[in-house]
Structure 1
Amino acid sequence: MRSFAGLAAIVAAASVYLYLLSTHLPPGPRRPESDGEDAETEGEVRELRELRLRFPSDLDELRELADLLKFYKREHYGYVLLLFCSAYLYKQSFAIPGSSFLNMLAGAIFGPWEGLLLACLLTTSGSTFCYLLSSTFGKQHVVQLFPEKVALLQRKVEENRSSLFFFLLFLRFFPMTPNWFLNITCPVLHIPMPIFFFSVLIGLIPYNFICVRTGSMLSELSSLDDLFSWRTLIQLLAIALVALVPGALIKHYSKDRLKVDGLGSNGTSPDGVEQDRKMR
């Protein structure tokens, strides 16, 4: 009970911080050229205030929020950066799904390379915070909530103890178990912090790159015709290659050195699929 109360206090404090950060916006950029443009600017700022706590849930909301934050970033880069990092770490630290939209938002706001750097750093930091929270407050709760999945992963970790880092990379590259579940389970499985940290940092680079580059491309498209231009198609091909090559190398390595038999989709054994559906 004490561990649950401590975790609840941390979640509440982080929620209050994020709320206060998003409600105390600095003055928006002003364009003095004409009254009409000033009115448009004020309208955009009002719309940003209305959307401050709304995480994007589809591509339309993503593009709308990205346009508003890019507009606001003209004079308040540091504030937008702090707001984005805080929201990202909030989701990652408390194992809240939806990192793909935030990665795309990073690409749309900050561009492909700065967005990728941010996404990799925030994913790794947030996952590490989640690891620490689970280690401190949630070990027994994780085992109670997911007994069979934890037991299966425990067996696989022991079987691959000699190649533990590459086993974790394999799990990050392929969707055999959700990232948030790995983050909260690794302390239970006694995964050392350095191995966990670098497996997240390296293992999620292709996924982060795909999402960030997609978000950057979406922000640059002005019409459906732009989607079928040669430039866009070449970029999509490059994204596919970046995603496939590391995964192929890890899969080739795993055939000889890793034991992943019995791990089905989302980290369940074939016999545990039905129970996994009930848990959802």
Structure 2
Amino acid sequence: MRSLVGLVAVVIAASLYLYSLSLYLPAAPRRRPAEAGHPDTAETERPHDGAEGASRLKFPSDLEELRELAELLQFYKTEHTGYVLLLFCSAYLYKQSFAIPGSSFLNILAGAIFGPYHGLLLACVLTTVGSTMCYLLSQAFGKRYIVNLFPDKVSKLQRKVEENQDCLFFFLLFLRFFPMTPNWFLNMSAPIVNIPITFFFCSVFIGLLPYNFICVQTGVMLSEVSSLDDLFSWERLLQLLAIACMALMPGALIRRYSQRRLKSQNGLISDKKAQ
């Protein structure tokens, strides 16, 4: 009971912090005045009211909401970069720490707001830190509840971890590249099946790099694309092909290494039996 109360207290405190952060939205940045002879410019460049902007700060649930949120945060980022960065990091860590679905939307948002390089670095760091916070929360408060809720899944993962103890890090990478187990469940159950936090931390950063890369690049294209014709241009198609190849390469290498490792282990076992 004490662990449940502690978890609820952490969730409430984090929710209040994130809510208060969204309320203290800075004043909208100033835009240049409308040029003479272009009366419609004033309408398109009119700063958003603070209350109106705060009401639009919510987790996106579809592509349209994602595009609107990206435009709003890009608007504020021109003069309030620190606030936008703090708000984005806080929202991302909130989702990851409490295993709330929808991190792909935030990865796309990172690419749309911060660009391909800073967005990818930010997504990788926040994914790793947030997953580690989920690991620690599960270790501190949730072990008994997770075992009671998912007994079969936990026992199956426990067996797999014990079978791959000699190459545990590569096994964790394999699970991240080819998610037979959902990432949120792996984050929560990792301390229960005795996965060391160092292995966990590094496997998340490396293993989710291709996924984060794809999402961030999608966000970059989302901020640049204005019509379907732009999306299906030869330049965009070649970019998508390059992204797919780069994302599949690490997974192919891990799979090949795993197969070689298994073959060598089988050879050692057969040699021992022959002796």
What TM-score results when the alignment is normalised by the length of structure 2? 0.90
In structure 2, the residue matched to 1:33 is: 33
| 1:17 pairs with 2:22 | no
Q: Which runs of 5 or more structure 2 residues have no equivalent in the other structure? A: 264-275
- C-alpha deviations, 1:10-50, integer Å up to 9, x for none? 00000000000000111111125149637843347554222
User: How far apart are residue 256 of structure 1 and its match?
Assistant: 3.4
Q: Which residue of 2 aligns with 1:264?
A: none
1:80 is matched with 84
- 1:225-244 to 2 correspondences below 5 Å: 225-244=229-248
Shift in alpha-carbon separation, 1:112–1:44, aligned structure 2, 3 A: farther
Q: Is contact 1:107–1:215 with CA below 8 Å preserved after alignment? A: yes
Name 1:8's counterpart in structure 2: 8
What is the RMSD of the two structures over their aligned residues, measured on CA atoms? 1.6
CA distance in 1, matches of 2:233, 2:50: 33
Alignment pair present for 1:185 and 2:157 = no
1:172 maps to 2:176: yes
Contact 2:25 2:50 in 1 (8 A): no
Q: Which letter maps to 1:162?
A: D
Point out where structure 1 has 5 or more consecutive residues left out of the alignment: 260-280
> What number of residue pairs does the alignment pair up?
258
Q: CA separation of 1:39/1:159 partners in 2, compared to 1, >3 Å: closer, same or farther?
A: closer
C-alpha separation in 2, matches of 1:184 and 1:56 = 24
| In structure 2, distance between residues paired with 1:159 and 1:197 | 21
Counterpart selection for 2:215 from 211, 215, 229: 211
Contact 2:18–2:90, Cα closer than 8 Å, also in 1: yes
Question: Aligned letter for 1:27?
Answer: A
Q: Which whole-Å CA distance do the structure 1 matches of 2:175 and 2:32 have between them?
A: 53
Contact 2:96 2:130 in 1 (8 A): yes
What pairs with 1:44-193 in structure 2 (closer than 5 Å)?
47-52=52-57, 54-193=58-197
Q: Which has the larger radius of gyration?
A: 2
- Any idea what the Cα deviations from partners look like across 1:57-115, whole Å, max 9, x if unmatched? 11111111101110110000000000000000000000111110000000000001100
Alpha-carbon shift at residue 155 of structure 1 (Å): 0.4
Preserved CA contact (<8 Å) 2:25 2:53: no
CA offsets per residue over residues 176-196 of structure 1, 9 Å max, x none?
A: 011110000000011111101
- TM superposition score normalised by structure 1: 0.88
Identity %: 69
CA–CA separation in structure 1 for the residues paired with 2:175 and 2:5: 32
Counterpart-to-counterpart distance in 2, 1:251 and 1:93: 29
Give the letter aligned to residue 56 of structure 2. Answer: L
